[in-house]
Amino acid sequence: MSSSTVAMPPTHYLNNGLTLKSWLFTKDHKRIALLYLVAVTFFFMVGAAFAVAIRLELATPAGDLLSDENYNRVFTMHGVMMVFFFLIPAVPAILGNFLIPLQIGAKDLAFPKLNLLSFYIYFVGSLFTMYSIVSGGLDTGWTFYTPFSTVASTSAVVPAALGIFINGFSGILTGLNFIVTIHKMRAPGMTWFRLPLFVWAHYATSLIQVLGTPVLAITIVLVAAERIFGFGLFNPAVGGDPVLFQHLFWFYSHPAVYIMILPAMGIISELVAASARKQVFGYTFVAFASIGIAVIGFLVWGHHMFVSGESVYAALVFSVLSFIVAVPSAVKVFNWIATMYRGSVSWETPMFYVAGFIGLFAIGGLTGLFLASMGLDVHLTDTYFIVAHFHYVMVGGTIMGYLGGIHFWWPKITGRMYNDLLGRVSAVVIFVGFNLTFFPQFVVGYLGMPRRYHAYPEEFQVLNVLSSAGASVLAVGYLMPLFYLAYSLKYGEIAGDNPFGAVGLEWNTTSPPPTENFKTTPVVTWEAYEYPTPVEGHVV
Amino acid sequence: MRSGTPLFPEAASTIAPRVDALYLFLVGLTAFMTILIAALVVIFMIKYKRRDPNSIGARIHGGMALEIIWSIIPLFIVLGIFVWATGIFFDIARPPAETMNIYATGKQWMWKFQHLDGQREINELHVPVGRKVKMIMTSEDVIHDLYVPAFRVKADVIPGRYSHIWFEATKAGEYHLFCAEYCGTQHSGMIGKVVVMEPDDFQAWLSGGVQEGSLASAGSKLFQDLACNTCHRPDAQGRGPVLQNLFGKTVTLASGENVVVDEAYIRESILTPSQKVTAGFQPTMPTFQGLVSEEGILQLIEYVKSLKTDMPVSAVRPNTGGPAPNENTPAQAPPTRN
């Protein structure tokens, strides 16, 4: 561990320019990452506030706290905020932005100005969507199903959709930036198979963002066109096909699930290696599992539509591919566990988040098999079972990974250490609170409680109360890091360059790093996660 | 519908035990795998806990044999589940040939049901035990979804299309009926109940209540009110095709294409008649868009289906209270076309 005598480096990216302008017009990928950190955290809190309203409403079977109209607006905005403005950008835009250049030994991303532009596109997109909240709300669900969204809804569909449309370009440009950077900016000796798995995961994610997001953008334009001009695209009364929308929507939005989970998997690979001080078991399998998930992930969208009237033969193909895409995910989990075998396993905060991630992701992944099973999906789809499943993957998985990554790289980002005991406690509280919140939803889902219900039959109440009570534990878990991390900014111990004794180029520069990342261009002569017997420069 | 806090849903259809068996198998698999994974993580955390702050892990790069084992075994397990689940799905998605048909129309925010004998219900559906029931469903506005958890079946109810679910109830009782596709403000109010009755009770229920005549006779009346009968005559002298014995047949269109006369084709021919004109006829039929409701279209469809002989059924057929007519779903019509 770091000794208390280490000092902060005299100059680093945080004190290189202290004016507001030096932040808002920065081209430094690390500062842009922090701009995202502030914005993304804000949208997480907005989305979480909507979640609080949902769980309070569902504590009683009658629709008594909110009107049905407002409840529909609340769950819609919870989904829109969390998916488009928190989960999709969280890991790539914050940690990916901060770490990819550092991990490959580059000074910055390939297109620093484009990177800043991506942030402002994200910001402008969020303004439009936020505007829809105050101008009548949005009641279509985050899925915008037609013809409800184009014909029936009286809410502010167009501003919200425009915001998501604009925001999409932020993701496309960030993905493009990452792809070019990973191809062209690697330090000498940093071959493809020496890349940290975090970089591989972001490469796969970027491919999905660049190829998938335009389809979402087009779909949203079509929804707006039908809504504004009455084109007969999705509305059957004027010759459209409502199910066409679902194909277009899920063609993006299923791969989007992998945009959310792949980067978090990349974090877990880094954390498990550093926590065990050991090479990731089966590096190439984990790397290609990311690519495999990204490719097959594009071909499974129809599993959202088994009861939507697609042909049974189309459903059959989507089903078998959905089962097959489970295999690379399982391979990753087995490799992480094998990495711990005969490791030197740290009991610091990041490892606790890794353990939590693996536990929740296992349940999230395995319950995915229930939904890929067509005969069972008929009963389960559109119930709380599916709500529980995707929260296990997207919240249990992605947020666990994201917070684990924030804790692991916090000393690198800020130069200071947080209270490790509080970190471990937060991981445990989140893990417990998460299971209390979402496990009952599996049960109530199999009982048949449909999702997006403002009021429900009384026999479902006990399970809903359990879920709401668990959510309060979860809320405490999510609030804790906010406080002790903020506290550490001023009062935290000086971390030193490599407080975890990890390998990886980002640990071979100061904490916080200088604006140019490295004083001299590093030359890589070692494999990824190659832990030497303790020598100077690797273990403090 | 039960009070208290059930942890497992009632199973009241022939398919439900099969769905439950797969579910319980997957619960077992999930529990086994999760406990295995969690145990390994905890054991490795304890056993290999870092005691010396400078220690590092053993040098192990990976193992091809292990990678292959833990890729291939899960692959075979999931493919096995796929085969099992797909078998159940095909039985859910393909109604048997002989079914008792009930028409359902969803609209924001209610369910309307029409029995062939003419009974109409709102948010309540009466069905007998031991009969294979097929719901032929459409929507007047947005997408809905008819869901009966106790039967383990649901299907989206889509405007402009007919979709189906079928079930055979096994246990008399009252069960939840939900709309499972979000459809706007009062989505959670678009609920009702399915009343499963013993066959005798069901017959009694069928013969009680409404005396409007059968669905086909309502269709027959509508057929005359809309003056369809001036062109669609039984004697091949009309300007439109003869409808007798037409349902389930394949007809050739002016474009040369072949089309099976099913519910969707009749609906399309009423609303957009010039879309698919039968070969040998002029596209003179006007659209009835806006003149006939979705329920009216269903009555007309039932009327066309009833035209088995050369003589149309009389407009006011007395309700005999006898067994409900068994509709034959034509074998050549792909049952899951939608």
B220 and B316 co-located in one domain? yes
User: Which residues of A are less than 8 Å from B149 in CB distance?
Assistant: 379, 383, 447-448
DSSP string, A323-371: HHHHHHHHHHHHHHHHHHTTS-B--SHHHHHHHHHHHHHHHHHHHHHHH
Give how far B167 is from chain A: nearest CA, Å.
13
**Does residue A512 have a cis bond before it (omega within 30 degrees)?**
yes
Phi-psi group of B208: left, alpha or beta (phi > 0 → left; psi -120 to 50 → alpha; rest → beta): beta
Q: Is the distance from CB of B328 to CB of B97 less than 8 angstroms? A: yes
Within-domain flag for A516: no
- A375 CB within 8 Å of a chain B CB: yes
Within-domain flag for B333: no
Give how far A455 is from chain B: nearest CA, Å.
6
pLDDT exceeds cutoff 70 at B332: no
Q: What is the pLDDT of residue B158?
A: 96
Domain that holds residue B112: 98-207
For A198-239, the pLDDT digits (tens) are 999 999 999 999 999 999 999 999 999 999 998 889 999 888
Q: Taking the alpha carbons of A513, A514, A519, A522 in that order, is the dihedral positive or negative?
A: positive
Q: What is the CATH number of the domain that holds A461?
A: 1.20.210.10
d(CA A10, CA A140): 52
Within-domain flag for B9: no
Amino acid identity for residue B207 in this structure: S
- A462 CB within 8 Å of a chain B CB: yes
Within-domain flag for A515: no
B305 and B237 co-located in one domain? yes
Q: What is the pLDDT of residue B234?
A: 84
pLDDT exceeds cutoff 80 at A536: no
Partner A, chain B 83-112, Cβ-Cβ below 8 Å: 84-94, 108
Within-domain flag for B24: no
B203 and B235 co-located in one domain? no
Interface test with B, best of A378, A400, A533, A536 (most B CBs within 10 A): A378
Tokens of A275: 């926590």
How many contacts does A have with B, using Cβ atoms within 8 A?
310
Give how far B11 is from chain A: nearest CA, Å.
10
pLDDT exceeds cutoff 80 at B208: no
d(CA A507, CA B337): 59
User: Which residues of A are less than 8 Å from B159 in CB distance?
Assistant: 147, 236-237, 242
B237 and B198 co-located in one domain? no
For A68-113, the pLDDT digits (tens) are 999 999 999 999 999 999 999 999 999 999 999 999 999 999 999 9
- A317 CB within 8 Å of a chain B CB: no
Within-domain flag for B84: no
B278 and B302 co-located in one domain? yes
Residues A33-43: what's their mean pLDDT? 97
Q: What is the pLDDT of residue A539?
A: 41
* Number of domains comprising chain B: 2
Helices (H) and strands (E) in chain B, counts: 6, 13
H or E segment and range at residue A184: helix A157-184
User: Which DSSP category does B151 fall into?
Assistant: G
User: Which residues of B are less than 8 Å from A381 in CB distance?
Assistant: 154, 180
Q: How many CA within 13 A on the CB side of residue A61?
A: 12
Q: State the distance between the two ends of chain B, measured CA to CA, in whole angstroms.
A: 31
Q: What is the CATH number of the domain that holds B110?
A: 2.60.40.420
Interface test with A, best of B20, B56, B289 (most A CBs within 10 A): B56
Partner B, chain A 160-189, Cβ-Cβ below 8 Å: none
Q: Is the distance from CB of A501 to CB of A540 less than 8 angstroms? A: yes
Query: Taking CB atoms and an 8 Å limit, are A237 and B56 in contact across chains?
Result: no
Q: Where are the alpha helices (DSSP H) in A105-156?
A: 112-134
Percentage of chain B beyond pLDDT 90 is 57
Partner A, chain B 251-310, Cβ-Cβ below 8 Å: none
- A24 CB within 8 Å of a chain B CB: no
The CA-based angle A61-A371-B158, given to 5 degrees, is 70
For A468-520, the pLDDT digits (tens) are 999 999 999 999 999 999 999 999 999 999 999 999 999 999 999 999 999 99
Within-domain flag for A453: yes
- B143 CB within 8 Å of a chain A CB: yes
B229 and B180 co-located in one domain? no
Q: For residue A266, what are the contacts with CB-CB under 8 A and spacing of at least 6?
A: A91, A196, A197, A198, A199, A200, A201, A202, A290
Name the residue of chain B whose CA is nearest to A501's CA. B54
Q: What is the CATH number of the domain that holds B273?
A: 1.10.760.10
- A306 CB within 8 Å of a chain B CB: yes
Q: What is the pLDDT of residue B3?
A: 63
Name the residue of chain B whose CA is nearest to A329's CA. B71
* Number of domains comprising chain A: 1
Average pLDDT, chain A: 94
Query: Taking CB atoms and an 8 Å limit, are B70 and A454 in contact across chains?
Result: no
Within-domain flag for A459: yes
Looking at the partner chain, which of B7, B78, B88 has a beta carbon nearest the beta carbon of A326? B78
- At B196 the three-state DSSP class reads strand
d(CA A213, CA A216): 5
Within-domain flag for A197: yes
B275 and B174 co-located in one domain? no
Query: Taking CB atoms and an 8 Å limit, are A381 and B154 in contact across chains?
Result: yes
For A158-174, the pLDDT digits (tens) are 999 999 999 999 999 99
For A432-475, the pLDDT digits (tens) are 999 999 999 999 999 999 999 999 999 999 999 999 999 999 99
B194 and B224 co-located in one domain? no
Domain that holds residue A251: 22-508
- At B183 the three-state DSSP class reads coil
Q: For residue A96, what are the contacts with CB-CB under 8 A and spacing of at least 6?
A: A174, A178, A198, A202, A205, A263
Query: Confidence band (pLDDT; 50, 70, 90) for B317?
Result: very low
Within-domain flag for A521: no
Partner B, chain A 234-273, Cβ-Cβ below 8 Å: 236-237, 241-243
Within-domain flag for B280: yes
- What does the buried/exposed string (b/e) look like for B209-246 if buried means 16 or more CB atoms within 10 Å of the residue's CB? eeeebbbbbbbbbbbeeeebbeebbeeeebebbebbeb
- What does the buried/exposed string (b/e) look like for A397-415 if buried means 16 or more CB atoms within 10 Å of the residue's CB? bbbbbbbbbbbbbbbbbbb
- A213 CB within 8 Å of a chain B CB: no
- A232 CB within 8 Å of a chain B CB: no
d(CA B26, CA B302): 42
B231 and B189 co-located in one domain? no
Within-domain flag for A1: no
- At A507 the three-state DSSP class reads helix
d(CA A448, CA B149): 5
Within-domain flag for A65: yes
User: Which residues of A are less than 8 Å from B187 in CB distance?
Assistant: 68, 72, 452-454
B123 and B143 co-located in one domain? yes
Query: Taking CB atoms and an 8 Å limit, are B22 and A383 in contact across chains?
Result: no
d(CA A406, CA A412): 10
Q: Locate tokens 């878990």: which residue?
A: A477
Q: For residue A160, what are the contacts with CB-CB under 8 A and spacing of at least 6?
A: A80, A128, A129, A132, A138
Other C-beta atoms within 10 Å of A64: how many?
Answer: 11
Q: What helix, strand, coil percent values describe chain A, rounded to 5? A: 70, 0, 30
pLDDT exceeds cutoff 70 at B326: no
Residue that finishes a domain, picked among B207, B231, B263 = B207
Q: What is the pLDDT of residue B237?
A: 80
Q: Taking the alpha carbons of B81, A317, B20, B88 in that order, is the dihedral positive or negative?
A: negative
Query: Taking CB atoms and an 8 Å limit, are B67 and A333 in contact across chains?
Result: no
